[in-house]
Amino acid sequence: MIVEVVAVGTELLLGQIVNSNATAIGAALAERGYDAHFQQVVGDNTDRISGAVRLAISRADAVIVTGGLGPTQDDLTREAVCRAVGLPMEASEAHVQALRRWWERRGVAMAESNLRQAEHPAGAELLANPKGTAPGLALEHEGTLIFCVPGVPAEMLHLLGEEVLPRIGGRSAEKAVIANRLLRTWGRPESYVADALDDLYTGAVNPSLAFLASGGEIKVRITAKAADRSEAFALIEPVESEVRSRLGPTVFGADDETIERVLLQRLNQLGYTIAAAESMTGGLVAAALTSLPGSSAVFKGALVAYERGLKSRLLGVEGGDVVTRETAERMARGGRELLGADVAVSTTGSAGPEPLERPAGTFWVAVSTPDHTQAREMRMAGDRERVRAYAVTSALQLTRLALLGTWWKG
């Protein structure tokens, strides 16, 4: 069963809102083992929506259109679907009366434009929407199921779960699920990971592999399709084992085991507390360390010092260059001592766009534990925010390595 999503709304194209509906629908389809080969996003234009729906019909067994069912002039999905399938528009008198009662119960005069929500392609079934005033729509055209649901996420999710997916399931003879395992790696570039797994990627059908780069990490997604989740993960297991074997210690977690979660778990295992001493990251490391529930048990605090004199007074860093190994290590030791933590991590560097002593994108991260203090120089190309984000990831990852006793070469 191939299902395609068409998301309607100029605001999606302009980036004014995130297309969270497509994400939610995609996850629900995958959970049930349906294939999704394409997604479309189209603005509020009848011709373009109609064209998008016709294209989806030509290559999918079911089409889910989200958005464009409201009462305003730019809610054009009903008209576009009529045009796409060659049906006239009808109005449901029952829904007209339901709309009038809805507004009467609230003691508000109903704008006549709301009656547009009672219109639908001839023969379409209206799907009850208890969370809003625009009903969903269901119809069939030349063997393809077509569903229209509101763009409001709460309304869409209700109709998806209660109306749309059961109807697709009743039509689909295929009973399958799609399962994923996401392996998280750090320390090697995407090209290295891809080369190391090239034969697994090239020859893979089920399970299949994909590579995702974000937040300074390279993720390897293993996807399998099977009759049930246990069978799907049985297919994933040997591939996961091989990936872990080839990538070795660069793999630090799986699925929701983010670096923040892994680091928090390690600190709890050791009974350690942690602090941060930051310059170029301006408190971002502290924000990451406190992003999870339970972090208050291990996080002592942070010192954020941008100005050189302040660094000197707070952390015992002498004047002179600040983008150096010595500065980073003194900051880490000073932060640990001042805040009474077992471990401290520091960042200092040149985030750009203008260079600070060293080329933009150059920074030092240091970690200080009860046994050892060590720093590492890092470089990242890109704009200021990319450099700072990479510095945060590096700070957390180097702290993890230090707590494992796997100190890096300086």
Q: How confident is the model at residue 321 (pLDDT cuts 50, 70, 90)?
A: low
Average pLDDT over residues 295-309: 87
Closest-CA residue to 373 (of 341, 64, 363) = 341
- pLDDT tens digit sequence for 157-195: 999 999 999 999 888 666 778 888 999 999 998 999 999
- Asked if 388 and 283 count as a contact pair (C-beta separation under 8 A), the reply is no
SS3 216: coil
Compare 71 and 306 and report the one with higher pLDDT.
71
Q: For the residues 376-394, what does the mean pLDDT come to? A: 90
Element (H, E) at 408: none
Q: What is the pLDDT of residues 240-266, one digit of tens each?
A: 999 999 999 999 999 999 999 999 999
pLDDT in tens, 51-63: 999 999 999 999 9
Residue 285 has pLDDT above 60, yes or no: yes
Catalogue the long-range contacts made by 36-42 (C-beta closer than 8 Å, 24 or more residues apart). 36/2, 36/3, 36/4, 36/5, 37/2, 37/4, 38/4, 39/4, 39/5, 39/6, 39/7, 40/4, 40/5, 40/6, 40/7, 41/6, 41/7, 41/9, 41/12, 41/13, 42/6, 42/7, 42/8, 42/13
Fill in the amino acid letter for 74. D
In order, the DSSP letters of 55-80 are HHHHH-SEEEEES--SSSTT--HHHH
Give the pLDDT of residue 160. 96
- pLDDT of 338 reads 93
Q: Which residues contact 307 (CB under 8 A, 6 or more apart)?
A: none
pLDDT tens-place string over residues 363-383: 999 999 999 999 999 988 888
Looking at residue 48, its pLDDT comes to: 97
Average pLDDT over residues 132-138: 95
Assigned token pair, 196: 């190391």
Provide long-range contacts, Cβ within 8 A and 24+ apart, for 209-212: 209/239, 209/243
Is residue 42 packed enough to be buried (19+ CB in 10 Å), middle (13-18) or exposed (0-12)? Answer: buried
How far apart CA 320 and CA 308 sit, in angstroms, is: 8
Stronger pLDDT, 204 or 350, i.e. the higher one: 350
Which residues lie below 8 Å from residue 317, measured CB to CB, with a gap of 6+? Answer: 308, 311, 327, 330, 331, 334
pLDDT range class, residue 410, cuts 50, 70, 90: low
pLDDT of residue 169: 87
The pLDDT value recorded for residue 213 is 87
In this predicted structure, what is the pLDDT of residue 318? Answer: 60
Residues of the chain above pLDDT 70, percent: 95
pLDDT of residue 347: 95
Q: How many whole angstroms separate alpha carbon 288 and alpha carbon 345? A: 12
Q: Residue 231's pLDDT is what?
A: 93
User: Quick one: average pLDDT of 212-241?
Assistant: 91
How high is the mean pLDDT of the chain? 92
pLDDT of residue 170: 83
What's the pLDDT at 319? 56
Q: pLDDT at position 121, please?
A: 97
d(CA 259, CA 298): 15
The percent of residues above 90 in pLDDT, for the chain, comes to 77
Give yes or no for residue 207 having a pLDDT over 60.
yes
**CA-closest candidate to residue 26, choices 64, 74, 80, 78:** 64
Kind plus residue range of the DSSP H or E element containing 7: strand 3-8
Q: What is the pLDDT of residues 326-356, one digit of tens each?
A: 989 999 999 999 999 999 999 998 887 777 7
Report residue 361's pLDDT band, with 50, 70 and 90 as the boundaries. Answer: confident
Domains of the chain (ranges; CATH) run: 3-171 (3.40.980.10), 177-254 (3.30.70.2860), 259-404 (3.90.950.20)
Question: Does the pLDDT of residue 203 top 80, yes or no?
Answer: no
